[in-house]
Chains A and B, each alone.
Chain A
Amino acid sequence: MNYTIPTVDWSLVLPFALVALTGIVALIIETAHPKRDNGLIIGVSLTGLAATFVLLLTQLVLPPARTFGNMVLRDQFSVLLQLICVAATAVCFMFSDGYLREKKIAFGEFYPLTLWALSGAMVMVSTDNLLMLFVGLEILSIALYCLAGMSRSEARSEESALKYFLLGAFASAFLLYGIAFLFGASGSMSLPDIQKAVTGLTRDTLPMPVFGVMLVLVGLGFKASLVPFHQWTPDVYQGAPTNVTAFMAAVSKVAAFGALARVLVAAAPLHQYWFEALYWIAIATMCIGNLVALVQKDVKRALGYSSIAHAGYLLVALLAYTRDPDKVSLGTTVFYLIGYAAMTVGAFAVVSLAAKGDRDGSRYQDLHGLYRRAPFATVMLVLFLSSLIGIPPTVGFFGKQLIFLDALRTGLVPLAIVLAVNSAVSAYYYLQIMVAAFVSEEGAARPVSRKPGAGMTIGVCVCAAGVIFASLLGGYVQETTRTAALQAKPVPGRVQNQMEVINR
């Protein structure tokens, strides 16, 4: 047996190792100073995140590489997604302190748990091995289950944790089952190998890999909250503490779409079997997300449905890419994720200001008069919501524009039209939130609960900068991922040929 021990390039795993280590340090500090001021923990966490961010930036220009026996992959696609995750987490941390204090959630564990969840998400996007992907997903999920139930005094939070856990475990089982099928079909966990194996199948050999892909898509569809696997989203978003929701909405979605992109690229030879299904899933996700959001009375719930709708938009971008990787780039998805993370985290950050005492005031009327208490944050909320609607020149607009472009270029005109109508429908509930916070004065006399702290202001500013200036990155992201996207494909060159065969 001529087995060679794989070489290890530590620089590839350093980003998530750094994040996980920061989590451990934060936990040690928490143990040493239980229930005290969380300032030190936040400081350490943010420092760790900043270091990781800088490290990732330096890796952005490096050529793609693999290590640990091809278990870990670093390419531009993975680095960009990791950058989004790290930045989103940092913003969540910035506004968390005030929120946790207000709600009397004294647990310093929030920070280490979130950091570990983040490391899971980062693992998830920087691998093309299904086993690693599963491990990353579980690291992310298990930490999130705990986080969702962090507000112990609220039954809703507990409910959300339980619901998330049960459904999440179920979805993981689907994913694992799908991986097993694919392993059975190809004898490998690695996506490039699977892709080779599923090329040129006959009638008799088809069922196993097709089943496998379908089951994997169910598992990932759950994480990405695609209809019909979305039912957990509104409940969990509403029940979980708002800072956790923000983290979940941004990081979890980025990770899910990163994984989804790689799986779909690997499954490209089976294009004809899943494309139609995802096409309709995209339509259903956009429509159901937005239509149900219209009748919500709770901001977090509405934003939960909005995140479902945005998952639909993202799926359109992915579908356009898988349909014709030559004409469009994966950069659209990455770019939309950047914008989505900035505007969603920002919106949740401001909404968290409505919390009062140990209650999570997140109904529309709880936002009334927010302008009086926190004018700057409210104006920023208007900005984030405008971006979610897609008002130019925000990043939300340019993201949608790119998706339209991709869809029209690849002939997915119906999807583009559905997306356009949905944008208009979604404007209604975003406006309602905007009006509740910015216009309505009824609640102005309400006792002031909390002024936004410095952390909140900085966090909101970071998101606002993202919303306003990220569009300048549009071209760069498109270009970078155009090269990265080829690398994201397991076998550069070959996939393209296969795709062409399919498209013919």
Chain B
Amino acid sequence: MNGGFGILSLTIAVPAVGALLLALVPDAYTKAIKGLAIFLAAATFVVSLTVLSVFKGQSYHLQLVEQMNWLPQLGVSYKVGIDGISVWLFLLTTLLTLLSAIFSVYIEKRVKTYFVLMLLLEAAMLGVFVSLDLVLFYTFFEFTLIPMAMLVWIWGGAQRNYAAAKFFLYTFLASIFMLLGIIALANRYADVMPGHEFTFDLVKIQNAVASGVLWKGAGVLQPVLFWAFSLAFLVKCPMFPFHTWLPDAHTEAPTAGSMILAGVLLKMGTYGFLRIVMPLFPEATQQNMWIMLTLAVVGIIYGAIVAAVQPDVKKLVAYSSVAHMGFVMYGIFSLTHTGMVGGAYQQLNHGISTGALFLLIGLLYERIHTREFKAMGGLKAQMPVYAALFLIVMLSSVGLPGLNGFIGEFMAMAGGFQAAYQAGWAGLYLFAGLGVVLAAVYLLWMFQKVFYGKITNESLKGLKDLKPWEVGLVGVFVLFIFWGGIMPNTFLKPTEAAINATRQMVRNRPGARPVWGDLTYEVNEKGDLIRVDQRSDVGSYSGERIVLTNDYYLMEQPKAPMVAMGGGR
């Protein structure tokens, strides 16, 4: 048992404890509440940035691992850790929450409740991305529901009752099957492992999967559990045909809620596939990858077509999310290196560009109080700065080369093509390509309807352009859009090792799969699993040993039992 309280826990604790502190401030001090909330979100962001200073992207192993007993008799522990897949999502969460908290100074109704919910939501989302215990993961995963539903319910648009209830019930129903799956998985682990230890520890379970012990002779159990987990994540992503909650929830949510919903909450689904489904159900993943790819492509096309006919700018962006998350899934389930790295990267890009789009729409909504296209038009003359920023963000969403969206989509499609070509399913690839064209159609169309033409709506005359602080807010997004497009390696490099390992957890035969709990292996630049021989102590951090390899720095993790590992290698 190692590691008490480290950076990851601190990052979760700042918003969680902060929310409780905020709740103690009397309702009337709205300015103080807003200030404190933004301060807390900023503090969380700063704390989360320190992760980068100790994070080693060359290793696929989980780092900064902290483990504490929670409910030991029930096999539940508090175990968190971070790797290349989760590190950017972790930072995206703190960044987006900070930016949406700043935008939320526009909120006037029940200010305190709003910010308390927002901070609780942030804590829960952060927890999802670092949990290494299935029950802990489920806890955070479900805990996001109440604050998010309440954000929609209290501060949402006209249809908020319907949208919030649908969001909650849909995702809750899907994830309760994941809970059943989690328990069945732990049962299976206790049944087959010597010692009959009952645990929800992801690292230990993955260990048993990689060595082939867990699924040996399990028959239909693996596919059943695969779908139990996948259902929860498919709904969360959301993938066609489970997407119907999304347009409602996105449209009705307050601006900051939409930003977080689109930017972070959806990623919990795709992240779940990468972190849990693929490592734990490798055979089922390979068997069902074509179903997933087909769903992804259908989602891409369907989302794009439906987005094109929306009368409401926010609805359009909501449906575009369905299409974009389709690209993420398309890349991830191609099970190729390029595709998976691209898919993982596209998660970030979508978080940035869609978050920015919702922010821009929110800024406009605060001025004109409508989101209908027919009430807009000709805004370019009134708000030139706004139009320019909108253009950049929109083009990033289209996937213009040089901006971040291009890299992710290109890589996801390249990977998808590779997989499809090898399997003789190249047609699927063509359809995905069509999705890119359609994205250009509806987004450019949207831009035209909003910014060009004559001003038809008299009330739009005399509209004020963005204030400096609002420009700064959008500017942060624009910065990342260019950064991600021009120097994507900043973001790609640290994820590669982890993605590689995940891919091989799926692709390799039992016994030859990478194991999170085994420090003697690493993946090299080509993606091959190599044995690391030289390791020596160089120091310690928060009670953990730091081990040095030729060029890998790792936090040593608690030794998981290595069962039946021999032979395969």
User: B-contacting residues of A (Cβ < 8 Å)?
Assistant: 375, 379, 382, 386, 389-393, 397-398, 400-402, 404-405, 408-409, 416-417, 420-421, 423-424, 427-428, 431, 435, 438-439, 471-472, 474-476, 478-479
* Contact (Cβ within 8 A) B176 A424: yes
How far, in angstroms, from A121 to B184 measured CA to CA in the complex?
A: 36
- Residues of chain B with a CB closer than 8 A to A474's CB: 71, 73-74
**Which residues of chain B from 172 to 219 have any CB-CB distance to chain A below 8 Å in the complex?**
172-173, 176-177, 179-180, 183-184, 186-187
**Residue-by-residue, is B136-160 near A (CB-CB < 8 Å gives 1, otherwise 0)?**
0011001101100110011000000
Given A392-B139, A427-B172, also A475-B73 (CB < 8 A): yes
- Residues of chain B with a CB closer than 8 A to A439's CB: 150, 153-154
**Which residues of chain B from 71 to 93 have any CB-CB distance to chain A below 8 Å in the complex?**
71-74
Given A391, A402, A420, which contacts B143 in the complex, CB threshold below 8 Å?
A391
* Contact (Cβ within 8 A) A438 B150: yes
Tell which of B168, B176, B184 has the most Cβ of chain A within 10 Å.
B176
* Chain B: CB-nearest residue to A438: B150
B135 at the interface (CB under 8 A from A): yes
Tell which of A389, A397, A439 has the most Cβ of chain B within 10 Å.
A439
* Contact (Cβ within 8 A) A420 B180: yes
* Contact (Cβ within 8 A) B183 A408: yes
Given A386-B146, A424-B172, A427-B169, also A401-B73 (CB < 8 A): no
Could you tell me the distance in whole angstroms from the C-beta of B143 to the nearest C-beta in chain A? 6
* Contact (Cβ within 8 A) B143 A392: yes
Given A391-B142, A424-B169, also A475-B180 (CB < 8 A): no
What are 5 inter-chain pairs, A to B, with CB distance below 8 A? A392-B142, A397-B139, A408-B187, A431-B169, A476-B73
* Contact (Cβ within 8 A) A417 B180: yes
* Contact (Cβ within 8 A) A402 B74: yes
How far, in angstroms, from A431 to B172 measured CA to CA in the complex?
A: 12
* Residues of chain B at interface, number, CB under 8 A: 32
Give the top 7 A-B pairs by smallest Cβ distance, nearest first.
A475-B73, A392-B139, A424-B173, A420-B176, A439-B153, A404-B183, A393-B139
* Contact (Cβ within 8 A) B169 A478: no
* Contact (Cβ within 8 A) B180 A435: no
* Contact (Cβ within 8 A) B135 A401: yes
* Contact (Cβ within 8 A) A392 B138: yes
B383 at the interface (CB under 8 A from A): no
B310 at the interface (CB under 8 A from A): no
* Chain B: CB-nearest residue to A424: B173
User: A-contacting residues of B (Cβ < 8 Å)?
Assistant: 23, 27, 71-74, 135, 138-139, 142-143, 145-146, 149-150, 153-154, 161, 164-165, 168-169, 172-173, 176-177, 179-180, 183-184, 186-187
Number of CB contacts from chain A to chain B under 8 A: 83
* Contact (Cβ within 8 A) A382 B146: yes
- Residues of chain A with a CB closer than 8 A to B161's CB: 435
How far, in angstroms, from A125 to B352 measured CA to CA in the complex?
A: 59
A contact patch SS: helix
Could you tell me the distance in whole angstroms from the C-beta of A405 to the nearest C-beta in chain B? 5
Could you tell me the distance in whole angstroms from the C-beta of B96 to the nearest C-beta in chain A? 23
- Residues of chain B with a CB closer than 8 A to A421's CB: 173, 176
* Contact (Cβ within 8 A) A405 B71: no
* Contact (Cβ within 8 A) A471 B183: no
How far, in angstroms, from A424 to B135 measured CA to CA in the complex?
A: 18
Given B72, B73, B165, which contacts A428 in the complex, CB threshold below 8 Å?
B165
Given A424-B172, A427-B172, A438-B150; 10 other pairs, CB 8 A cutoff: A379-B23, A390-B176, A391-B142, A397-B139, A405-B183, A405-B186, A408-B184, A431-B169, A435-B153, A474-B71
Could you tell me the distance in whole angstroms from the C-beta of B26 to the nearest C-beta in chain A? 11
* Chain B: CB-nearest residue to A392: B139
- Residues of chain A with a CB closer than 8 A to B177's CB: 420
* Chain B: CB-nearest residue to A386: B146
* Chain A: CB-nearest residue to B109: A441
How far, in angstroms, from A379 to B24 measured CA to CA in the complex?
A: 13
* Chain B: CB-nearest residue to A405: B183
Tell which of B72, B135, B146, B164 has the most Cβ of chain A within 10 Å.
B146
How far, in angstroms, from A393 to B153 measured CA to CA in the complex?
A: 22
- Residues of chain B with a CB closer than 8 A to A400's CB: 179
How far, in angstroms, from A321 to B91 measured CA to CA in the complex?
A: 46
Could you tell me the distance in whole angstroms from the C-beta of A409 to the nearest C-beta in chain B? 6
Given A392-B138, A392-B142, also A479-B183 (CB < 8 A): no
* Chain B: CB-nearest residue to A478: B73
Given A391-B143, A391-B145, also A405-B173 (CB < 8 A): no
Given A409-B187, A424-B172, A479-B73, also A416-B180 (CB < 8 A): yes
* Chain A: CB-nearest residue to B137: A392
- Residues of chain A with a CB closer than 8 A to B74's CB: 398, 401-402, 474-475, 478
How far, in angstroms, from A400 to B176 measured CA to CA in the complex?
A: 11
* Chain B: CB-nearest residue to A473: B71
- Residues of chain B with a CB closer than 8 A to A391's CB: 142-143, 145-146
